[in-house]
Amino acid sequence: MGLSPWTLPWSVVVAGVLGQLFLFSMGTSSIDCFKCVSVNGDNPACEDPFHNNNSLKLLESPCMGGRKGRDGVFPATACIKMDGRYTDTDESITIRACALDSGTLTTDTEIIRMSHCGSFYFENRYIRGCVQSCDDADGCNSGPAGPLTHSPTRSALALCMGLLALLASAR
């Protein structure tokens, strides 16, 4: 006998619907991020210490970003900030932007999964500094994210909740 929504226990149907709504709401939301560039202090509103006085013009809402291997832009899932100095001229550079996870399997290929400090190559020049990401609040630009703020974690949690409901109904 095949399973249909009409033969499943009510709790399984409700858990499935709630899980789908949870996943749908995660996939359609976006984070607001400050977007600006400052090279050698030419944009003081973008520099640190960052003050959100009169800088709402720098806030992009909703923030959209590109995704590796895909055309177009998509709702961002994180804000990023790059801050450092060019190694050849010692000029400072600060960039605030938004980004999204492209879904690859490893952390080292996704800029938003882990903050990095050290030397790196950017637009054909070496920079000594940091790339920080955050996804815990609109307009964030630093600080660690909580364990449930990344989409893969939330998706896994929703999947586990659905499986637990299914196992509970099988008893």
pLDDT of 45-64, one tens digit each? Answer: 899 888 777 667 889 999 99
CA distance 170 to 161: 14
- pTM of the complete model beyond 0.75: no
Torsion of Cα atoms, 162 then 165 then 169 then 171, to 10°: 110
Q: Are 119 and 87 a contacting pair, CB within 8 Å?
A: yes
CA distance 50 to 62: 20
Q: Higher-confidence residue: 2 or 136?
A: 136
Percent of the chain with pLDDT over 70: 63
CA distance 132 to 64: 18
Bridge partners, 130 (sequence order): 83, 117
Q: Higher-confidence residue: 39 or 112?
A: 39
Bridge partners, 165 (sequence order): none
pLDDT tens digits, 116-141: 899 999 999 999 999 999 988 888 85
